[in-house]
Structure 1
Amino acid sequence: MPEVRFTIRWPDGAEECCYSPSTAITRHLRPGVAYPLEAFLSRARAGLSEASDRVAARYGFACSAAMDQLARIEARAATQQPGGQVTCLSMS
């Protein structure tokens, strides 16, 4: 299953490299697009959950790495100013 690394820029300007265990995330986030913080969180939750579900369908267990990544994203989002935007800079 091909993994995807995606780089985002938080509203405070910090950049972060993130991980998805499958290409499912590419259906939810696009490089070069800025999302309102809440929309980004919704898309990240959907994409990483779908990715974890794909791992479960193939291997019989959910992907803890996807859920760990989501937890890191949610924790970082909680430190951001409301109303900010998160930009997906790249995917590879």
Structure 2
Amino acid sequence: MPEVEFDVRWPDGRSQSVYSPSLVVEEVFTAGHPYPVPEFVALSRQAMATASDRVQARWGFPCSRAAATLAAIEERAAGFTDGEVTVTAFRRR
């Protein structure tokens, strides 16, 4: 399956590289578009669930890396009460 790394910039200005086992993140997010933190987390949940479902359909088991990605996003997002997250770039692997 095609994999994607995407870069995000958090409200504090720090960047993070995030993994997706599927191109679905390119369908869910738009590079350069800012998302309120709660919306970014909700869209990330949707994207990682879809990505894991695609892996399961192909290989017969859910994707643990998608779950780990979502956990990392949720952990990072918990530190912000407001602000926006911007997806800055996509890199297909």
Compute the TM-score of the two structures, normalised by the length of structure 2: 0.95
Separation (CA, whole Å) in 1 of partners of 2:49 and 2:33: 21
Q: CA RMSD in A?
A: 0.6
Could you tell me which amino acid in structure 2 is paired with residue 40 of structure 1? F
**Equivalent position SS for 1:54:** helix
Q: Which residue of 1 aligns with 2:63?
A: 63
Separation (CA, whole Å) in 2 of partners of 1:87 and 1:33: 6
% identity of equivalent residues: 45
The number of residues matched between the two structures is: 91
**Any stretches of 5+ residues in structure 1 without a counterpart?**
none
Q: Which residue of 2 aligns with 1:23?
A: 23
Could you tell me which amino acid in structure 2 is paired with residue 10 of structure 1? W
Task: Kindly indicate whether the alpha-carbon contact (under 8 Å) linking 1:3 and 1:20 is maintained by their aligned counterparts in 2.
Answer: yes
**Equivalent position SS for 1:32:** coil
Q: Which residue of 1 aligns with 2:5?
A: 5
**Equivalent position SS for 2:65:** helix
Q: Which residue of 1 aligns with 2:84?
A: 85
Could you tell me which amino acid in structure 2 is paired with residue 38 of structure 1? P
Shift of 1:53: 0.5
Separation (CA, whole Å) in 2 of partners of 1:57 and 1:29: 23
**Equivalent position SS for 1:39:** helix
**Once superposed, which parts of structure 1, at least 4 consecutive aligned residues long, lie more than 6 Å away?**
none
Deviations 1:16-38 (A, max 9, x none): 00000010111111111100011
Compute the TM-score of the two structures, normalised by the length of structure 1: 0.96
Could you tell me which amino acid in structure 1 is paired with residue 86 of structure 2? T
